[in-house]
Amino acid sequence: MLKAIWPKAKTPRIPRTAGENPAFRNRIVGVVRFSFPSLSGFSKIPQEAASAKAILYDTDRLERRFKLFEALTLPSMLAQTDTDFQLGFVIGDDFPARFLDRLKGLLQDLPQAYLVAQEPKPNFAATNFAFKAADLSGGTHMASFRLDDDDALDMDFIARLRRQADTLFPLCGDTPFAISQNRGFYMETGETGGDIYDVQERTPLGIGVALVSRIRSGHTIFIKNHRDLAEVYNAYADAVTPAFIRSVHRDNDANPHVAGSKRNLAQDEVHALIERHFPFKIADLKTL
């Protein structure tokens, strides 16, 4: 079946020729799976297309998903201090028309975004195609990162990822290497308690984790489970920067759990850090 990409025009990049290392011209590209009926990669949702679509395309579920996307994911990417990135959204080729129009309307405000509609297929095949659909012209390497449609990244995520990749490349060379953001927050929606607390992960979390590799190497971030990246790749973990907000709600496919510690900070510290590093007010998050 046809793989549809929208918009047709490639995302323009900010030229980075002056001062750019000719051996390492990095292109930063993220991929979000937006209720995509994957044939692999789910924990609770059936890995069979018709059964998965019955859950993923349920109207009430999509309304809840859009509420979190509009309140968390989209604002966090619109607020990035470094706008030189691309963000692909993988959807099913029969994604409900009303919600497809809604998603397209929202992404008009994010010029770095592009949609890739595909038939059901294994997770890596679908996401890898989405990475290949990005504008990688002039690049030697790609920092591929992952983000879910119900989570948020801090405003300096792209800028920091660029610095981290630039710094690590001389050490790692053309051997692919992983970069994870291990400090952040869990945010329970009202139906699951309405609590917001800090977490410190020991292993890479799926939010904002990146794999830096040579373009066309075949190594992109969905090639391994995020928790297993350090078993296969050289890995750098930023354990200092408050980098993510993970939403906890009834529709989580994986059971949210912390592989590390949590609740190390007082609530006033949590609130101050979130309002400093993210484009959110605590009062607004408490309404979700």
Q: What fold, for 4-8+26-285?
A: Spore Coat Polysaccharide Biosynthesis Protein SpsA; Chain A (3.90.550)
Locus of tokens 């995020």 = 226
Question: What's the confidence (pLDDT) of residue 19?
Answer: 61
Cβ-contact 199, 262 below 8 angstroms:
yes
The fraction of the chain above a pLDDT of 90, given in percent, is 74
In the predicted structure, residue 282 carries a pLDDT above the cut 90: yes
pLDDT tens per residue, range 116-133: 999 999 989 999 999 999
Non-local CB neighbours of 132 within 8 Å, separated by 6+ positions: none
Question: What's the confidence (pLDDT) of residue 103?
Answer: 97
The tokens describing 233, both together, are 């790749």
For 82-120, b where at least 16 C-beta lie within 10 A, e where not — what string? Answer: bebbbbbbbbbeebbeebbebbeeebeebebbbbbbbeb
For the chain, which residues make up each domain, given as ranges?
Answer: 4-8+26-285
Least Cα distance to 186 among 177, 199, 168 occurs for: 199
Q: Report the predicted TM-score, pTM, of the whole model to 2 decimal places.
A: 0.93
Question: What's the confidence (pLDDT) of residue 1?
Answer: 37
Counting beta carbons within 10 angstroms of the beta carbon of residue 229, is it exposed (0 to 12), middle (13 to 18) or buried (19 or more)?
buried
Least confident range from 48-57, 78-87, 126-135: namely 48-57
pLDDT tens per residue, range 178-188: 999 999 999 99
Least Cα distance to 179 among 241, 262, 127 occurs for: 241
Whole-number Å distance between alpha carbons of 36 and 95: 8
For 260-288, b where at least 16 C-beta lie within 10 A, e where not — what string? Answer: eeeeebeeeebbebbeebbbbeeeebeeb
